[in-house]
Every structure is written in structure tokens, then in C-alpha cells.
Chains A and B, each alone.
Chain A
Amino acid sequence: MDFGEILALAGALATAGGTVAGALGAPSRASLRVQAIGAVALGAAGAYVLASGEAIGAAFHSGVQPALGLDPLSGLFLLTIALVAAPAALFAGETLGEGGQARALAATTGTFVLSLAGFVAARDLSTLLAFWELMTLIPSLAIIIYRRDAEARRGVFAYLAITHIGGAGAWIALLLLAAHGALGGAHLGGALAAPVALAALIGFSTKAGLMPFHSWLPRAHPLAPAHMSALMSGAMIKLPLYALIRVLFEWSAPPGLWVGVTLMAVGALSCLGGVLYALMQHELKRLLAFHSIENVGIVALGLGASLVLRDLGEPAWSALAFAAALLHTLNHALFKSLLFLGAGAFHRMVGALELDRLGGLLRRMPWTGGAFALGALAIAGLPPLNGFASEWLTLQSLLHLGTTGGAGISLSGALATAALAATAALAAYCFAKVVGLVLLGAPRRSECAAATEAPMAMRIAMSFLALACIALGVLPGLLAPTLASLGPTHAALPSGVSLTTPSSGSLPTLGLVLALLALTALLLRLARRPRAAAAPAWACGQAPAPHLAWTSAGFTKPLRLALVVLLRPRREVATVTEGGVIQRIRYSNEVPHLFDTLMYAPVSRAALRWAAAARRLQSGSVRAYLIYLLALLALLLALLQAGVLG
């Protein structure tokens, strides 16, 4: 038996063992720690397969006999899952506590990790579809176990409804491919390639949370416990992209440039829309959920560019764009799960996560706060962290598209470049707000002033993710050529510590980090002069008061005003006057989610109307149901007679 197979088997068994033990009544902390060890082994198996470049286990086949195996692409995604799952399980062991609910959540966590790992290891149609459905259903189970209020039920309903209606596209694509033997066989070409591509785009982008099919994501992610949010945002929404890579790059022949361009358009819409609405949120977990849409959009931009560049006959650049997309997938898994775990640690300490009612947590919780700040720098795409490295690669491939394609393609490349540039700037804006309101300044609530540092296991989980963000920011060049070789063109990128493009400059990450660190340290040292005694910041003679401090809505107001046409904010000011004196002023504002009000609300209203009409069929009378059966039978026989069923 191959070493990789042993590792994968051991990891799966340990995770399953932890899960079963939790379900049977073992303490949830122990169960989750065993799961974390299992996840480490699974990640090691993924890394082993990725590094060796050799597939293990079964190969893909279009039948329905269950088969499991790993190839390097699956290995990368398995590694991504494990990098999220191991810290998440360690973290959950501290936050869930003990008791029936905690044990149920621990068992759900393990099952979820196994279903995610199962999906990337699936090598046949039935396993693929089974794990696909399982990984959709389990998070809703976790949410229902964790919270039983009406909001949670509504969120879970929206999640299941949208992912299942949209997810039908995934079934259509996979069934069509399997029917033509394209899973692990010859490319599916001809007339079917276009419908399969379209079905795959709709089906997988719904599950990935790409706009305009994203509406479930900001509802479902904030409801789950923090470690589940981390797993959903960090790992689950990446797997539809894995499936999309398989379908569009491996199993079907290129149906035309439009697929790549559509993917780029969807990606640009998602990254801009996601970050814009994230900026307008005032609750931390909901804000982070919108940022997941943004980052999946960035990955989609890279994948779309890779498809277009492949079809234009530029293998090296196509591989570069592919590497950019995969690197960003991995990076996002790291920093987003770090941010969700940080949010969970804050929640555990201070309760509600309304941004305007936090503050000053960096001084009270230096480890958690420091790790959270690093995650914020990384997701904001600032040098020298990992978010910058993958966004740099994506930008380079989009710019290449802009400078070398034909007129139409170059214009779409330029528009995508502009979208990504705006996204990066907006993300920096958003995380300046988040870090400022959560970590810096004076505490705005007594709970924040009394917060204490998280326990050791949680700190280890978050510090590990923060270190991984730094490592991938400093040395992305060690991984990028491997990722590029997984691409459709298998082109080799120059390897080394820096990121290097085929013809457009390089990013010497290590040199930048060293220069930044050395210069900053030197300048800090020089500025260590006698300082005046500390005093409150000048506020025009007023005493600083928490209720006069800047708010999340205030900080983003310039942008809201500049984009008033796009965002259409609602604002209400009601004054209560008595005897000519104003007694009270009530002010409220919100930025409505236009996708919900303009797109989803009409659709769901129409669906409910149709459902009400269809309800009349359900009379409850056995005779009526027998008539339905008879009518269906007659219809099918008639169709058979007419030769429609073939």
C-alpha cells in the first residue's frame, strides 16, 4: 500500500472515529481533538500527493460503482480542507463546551469534514453526487442544532432552497458528462459541450456563492457556530470551484471563448458586489460572509482568464492564471477561516458582534487580536501578506489579457482589471473599518473593557493560520509552479522564491518583506525619543465619550454618498416636537441588498403563488391520487407510443 494511501486512510479513520465517539457520548473536546489529528493526516496525504505528482487509489470512471482516489488537484483541495479543518476542530473543542448540543455539533463537524474530503476523493458519479448533497445538508443540520429561533430556520430554508434549485445545474452537468463517458474518459465535445458548460456554471456558481446566485451565503454563514462558518467559508464554497475546474478544464472540450468570458464577468460582478455590500454591513460575521463572495469572485476571475488564455493559445499565461486562482483559493481558506475563528473568539468573550459596540480588543486580547489583524491585512490584499501575492498573480494575468488579446478580449481584460483594482481598494477600506472598530480605540461596551485572552488551544489554532498567511505571503514562489503544473496546459513556470511571470516582471516577495521589516524597525528605533506624557486625543475640548465615537456607517458614508446611484441607501429621520421644542430625533438608515429586493423577492413571491395554486391538487382523497397515477401512466404510454421517449 502506498504511503499516501495509508495517510489518507488513517486520517479518514481518525476523523470518523472522533465523530462516532462524539455521537456515542464521548466528551466533545476529546472527540474534536481526535478529529483535528485526523484532519492533519488527511492534509498530509493531500500534500504528499501534490508533492509527488502521482495519483493514488482509483481513477475517474463514468459508472456508478463507488470508487475513491486522489490526484494532485484533489490533493491540493484536500490540503486546503485540512488546513481549515484542523484549527477549526481544535478551536471548537474550547468554544462548544460540553453537553448534548456540543456532542451533536462535534459529531456534525466530523461528518462535515469527511463529506468535504469525500467529495474531492470521489472518483465516480454516485460518490460524487452523494458527497455533493451531503456537504450541502450537514451545515444546515449544524445551524439547526446550534440555534432554534425563527431567523435560523428562515436562513436555513433560504440556503437549502437556493442551493438545491441552482444546484440542479450541477446534477445536469455531471449526469450528461457521465452518460457520455466523459468522467475520466474522452472529452465531451460537440453540441453537448455548451449546455454542459452552462449547467455547470449555474450549478456550481450557486453553491460557490457567486453573484447573482449568492443570496443564501450571507444568510447561512453568520448563523452557524464560528468553526462551522470557517469550514463553510474556507472549505465548502471552494469545492464547487474544484468541480468547475474538473468539468470545464478536464472533462469537456472547450465550447468557446464565451465560457471563460462569462466566468470572468460573474467573477467581476461577485468581487465588486461582494465587497461593496460587505462594506455596508455592521455585523462582523455577516460582513465576513459577504467577503467570501468577493474572494470566490477573485478566484473565478483567475479561472475565467485561464480558460480564455488557453483558448487564445497562450499556455504559459493560462497556467499562470490557473496558479493564481488556486493560490487565492488556498489563501482565502487560510485568512477567512482565521477571521471567522477570531470572530468566534470575540463572540465567546463579549457576546454580540455589532461593529459599533466593540472596540479596544487588541489590548485586552493581544494574541487573538494580533492574529485577527494579520488576517485582515491579508484579506485586504496588502503587501507583504499572502492575499497580495495571489491578487498580484491574478492582476498580472488579467493585464496580460488586456495588453495582448484582440480588441474585445482586451477590453474585457481591462474591465476585469479595473474590477479587481476597485475590489482591492474597497477591501482595504472595509478592513480598515473592521480592525478600527473591533480592535482599536476605546472599548465601547463594558464587556469589551473586561475581555480576557482566549484559552491556549484557540490561540494555537489562530496563530497557526496567521503564520500560514505570513509563510504564503513571503514564499509563494515555492508553491506557484506546482499549482501551475496542475493547469490545463501543464506549462512550467520558473521556480524560485519570487513569483515570476513569463514576460511581465516578477514579485520578489522575500526581498520586499525583509526591506519593509528592516526599514520599519530602523525608523521605529530612531523615533524612540522622550515623549510627552500620554493624554487623551484632542476632541475640541470635549471629553471623549463612546457614544460620540465614529461608527461603521459614518466611516463608510463618503463612499455611500459617492455611489448613491448604485447602492440606493434608505434614510429616515423622524423628529418628535412638543410645544415647539424638539424632544426626540429618531434616525435610521440601511443599504438594502438590491439583489434580494429586485431579484429574489419577486421570484419567491411568484413561486409562493404557484405553490398556493398547486396546493389544490392535494385534496387528501385517495381516489384523486389514483386518478393522478392513472393520468400519468396514460401520458407516459402515449409518449412511448409517439416515440418521444426513444
Chain B
Amino acid sequence: MSAATAAAGALQVLGGVLLAPGIAGTIQTLKARLQGRRGPSPVQPYRELRRLWGKSGVTPEPRTFVYSLAPALVAASTAIAVLLIPIGSVAPDWGVGHDALVLVGLLALARFALALAAWDTGSAFALMGAARDLMLSVFVEVALLLVLLLLALPAGSTDLISMSRAAAAPSAWSAPSHWVAAVAFCVIALAEIGRQPIDNPDTHLELTMIHEGPLLEYAGRDLAYLQWAAAARHWIVIALASDLLLPHPGSFLAQAAALAGGAALLVTALATLETVQAKMRLLRVPALIGSVALLCLLGLASWFAGGVR
């Protein structure tokens, strides 16, 4: 294994597991500053995880093993999803491949496990969130697959390493399909990490929440797993965006730097967006994602119409 591969592997684990909560925390801090508040420190998510790690879990009655299995399964599938995504176009072989469709499948598995846990407790709020999440996932998965199709065009492959190589040169931006994919990816990313205008991570108002709903019944280490998984989805989205959309030519160091730059850019963009944009009505979201999917089809047409390649 070359040094670059080892470093990439270390960065995957460190970034996905350790940095991810910090990214979510930084967004919160930055957002508070933009809104003229002092806000929590960027390390607040770590403090919360430490607090939860020391607390005892709760068990509702009646329940089955599904309730206790779900947080571990969510965290495990999210962790494997983190390992699928290369740093730049370099990654060690963890034995789980680097396929983009597997990534989609693992995220779906986590969503399914949480929905089952919601049914297991029978809690009204948990099920409300789960039903909304599954409804949105129908539209999000369509748009996500179309974005992956657009990004797979230059490489002709859904292997993330090949896709990342094909998107490395700045010339990738000369194809209109790449622009379309970038716009569409940003919208899908908002849905996937549960951010405004699609979901509001700060609220626990039961009538509006989506992703927070199924977490309500959990406490202790179970809740820590779920909160880490929510933070790790930020990392997944940022790493995917900088691999597949942002230019990252040259050596591994340059690629890692591009990743850091991409992360900074996206954190700023998310904080700004959350400051200026209110949450959408739930039933408007399918229309938004649907129009993004149509945009992707236009992007595909432009690729085959010759485009500026």
C-alpha cells in the first residue's frame, strides 16, 4: 500500500468518524454568527456525544429487538458508506468496494431501520417523521440516481474512484451536464442531511420535523449513534461533492486540500442558506425535487446533443 493510499484511508476514518460532528457544529456556530447571535461552540456536538455516551438507555414497552438493533444498524451502515467514498480518487480497499449504488442502498437501509424502530415503539411523532422521510426518499432517490447517471457519463462507470478521476480536471466543467449535476446535487444534499429549506435540524416542533422524529424515543448510547450518523451524513455529502463535482487535480496532497476547501465552501454555503431561506412547506418539496430530476434529464440530453465537450 502506498503512502497516499494509507493517508487516504486514515483521512476517511478520521474525517468520517471524528471530524463529522465538528462539521455540523461549525455550521451551527457560523449560522448563529450570521444571525447576530453568539451561538454554541463548534465543539458542542462532541460535548453532547460525550454526555450521551455516559447515560443509560431507555426501553419502551412493548418492544422487540428491532428497537435496540436499529441505532447500531444505522451507525454501521453509515460507517460503511463513509468507507465507500474515496479521498480525491484515492482510497484503500476495505473489501466493501466503492460503488455509488451501494452507497444509495446503505443510506436506504439506515432509513428503513429507523422506520421499523418507529413502528416498534408505536410513537406517533416517530411515525410521523418516518412516514415523511420515506415519502421524501422516493423523490430524492430518483433525483440522486439521475445525478449519478450524469456524473457517470464521462467515466462510464458508477465506481466512485473512476468517477472522481473523470471529474478531476477543471475541463469537466465544460460539459453542461456537469453544471446541471452540481445544481441538482446541492438540492438532494439538503434533503439527505435534513437541512433547511427541506428540514430544520434545530426544531423539535413535532408538526414540522422529519429526521428528528424517529430519534425522539432514544437516549444514551443509542441516541449517540443516531446523532453521529446524522453528522456523518454531512461528511458523506461533502466528500462526495468534492470528489465528483469540484476540480481536484494533481497529487494526493492537492486532492486532500481540495477536499478541505470544498468542505469549507459547503459549510459556509449551508450556514448562509439556512440564514436566508425559511423552511418550505412539506408538500412543496416533492415539486422542488421533481423539477431537479427534470433538469437532470435536460442535462443528459445536452450531453448527447454534443454539448461543449
Contacts and interface: CB of A to CB of B under 8 A. Distances in A.
Interface stretch (A138-146, A240-248, A523-531, A621-629): A523-531
A526 B221 contact: yes
Contacts of B286: 562
B283 interface: yes
Interface string B116-150: 10111111100100111011011111101110110
A359 B83 CA distance: 37
Given A436-B116, A527-B221, A505 B97 contact: yes
A568 to B, nearest CB: 16
Contact of B109 (A383, A406, A439): A383
A520 B108 CA distance: 16
B134 A396 contact: no
Interface in A487-536: 498, 503-508, 511-512, 514-516, 519-520, 523-524, 526-527, 529-532, 534-536
Nearest to A362: B64
Given A440-B66, A507-B102, A508-B96, A535 B116 contact: no
A533 to B, nearest CB: 8
A418 B122 contact: no
A265 B134 CA distance: 25
A493 B153 CA distance: 23
Interface stretch (B7-15, B40-48, B55-63, B238-246): B55-63
A527 B142 contact: no
Contact of A504 (B80, B123, B158): B158
Contacts of A550: 119, 122, 124, 127
Interface string B244-274: 0000000000000000000000000000000
Contacts of A604: none
Nearest to B135: A558
Contacts of A519: 72, 75-76, 79-80
B90 interface: no
Contact of B123 (A439, A503, A531, A539): A539
B300 A422 contact: no
A516 B109 CA distance: 11
A441 B97 contact: no
Interface in A547-588: 548-550, 554-559, 561-562
B215 interface: no
B277 to A, nearest CB: 21
A313 to B, nearest CB: 16
Interface string A144-181: 00000000000000000000000000000000000000
Given A407-B305, A417-B145, 19 more contacts: A382-B112, A399-B145, A399-B149, A402-B149, A417-B146, A418-B145, A418-B293, A425-B108, A429-B137, A432-B116, A435-B119, A503-B156, A505-B159, A516-B77, A524-B72, A535-B61, A537-B217, A550-B127, A559-B134
Contacts of B80: 512, 515-516, 519
B98 A562 contact: no
A429 B72 contact: no
B119 A529 contact: no
Contact of A536 (B61, B75, B222): B61
B225 interface: yes
B86 to A, nearest CB: 12
Contacts of B123: 537-539
Contacts, number: 255
B57 A532 contact: yes
22 contacts: A362-B64, A363-B64, A377-B112, A383-B109, A399-B158, A407-B304, A414-B300, A422-B139, A429-B135, A441-B122, A498-B97, A504-B156, A504-B158, A516-B76, A527-B57, A531-B57, A535-B58, A535-B61, A537-B60, A549-B122, A550-B127, A562-B139
8 closest A-B pairs (Cβ-Cβ)?
A436-B119, A505-B159, A511-B95, A519-B76, A407-B304, A558-B135, A523-B72, A421-B145
A429 B122 contact: no
A454 to B, nearest CB: 18
B37 to A, nearest CB: 30
B220 interface: yes
A455 interface: no
A400 B63 CA distance: 44
A432 B112 contact: yes
Contacts of A436: 115-116, 118-120, 127
B69 A524 contact: yes
A323 interface: no
B111 interface: yes
B50 to A, nearest CB: 14
Contact of B60 (A426, A535, A556): A535
B18 interface: no
A91 interface: no
Contacts of B95: 508, 511, 514-515
B110 to A, nearest CB: 10
A592 interface: no
A546 to B, nearest CB: 9
B68 A422 contact: no
B101 A396 contact: yes
B59 A512 contact: no
B115 to A, nearest CB: 4
A555 B111 contact: no
Contacts of A523: 71-72, 75-76, 225
B276 interface: no
A615 B125 CA distance: 61
A555 B127 CA distance: 7
Given A417-B146, A504-B152, A520-B69, A432 B119 contact: yes
Nearest to A360: B62
Contacts of B104: 421
Interface string B165-190: 00000000000000000000000000
B73 interface: yes
Given A383-B109, A411-B301, A530 B141 contact: no
A395 B158 CA distance: 10
Contact of A440 (B64, B142, B158): B64
Contacts of A534: 59-61, 63
A418 B300 CA distance: 13
Interface in A377-406: 377, 380-383, 388, 392, 395-396, 399-400, 402-404, 406
Given A428-B137, A539-B124, A558-B135, A411 B119 contact: no
B39 interface: no
A520 B76 contact: yes
B56 A399 contact: no
A442 B105 CA distance: 30
Contacts of A406: 304
A410 interface: yes
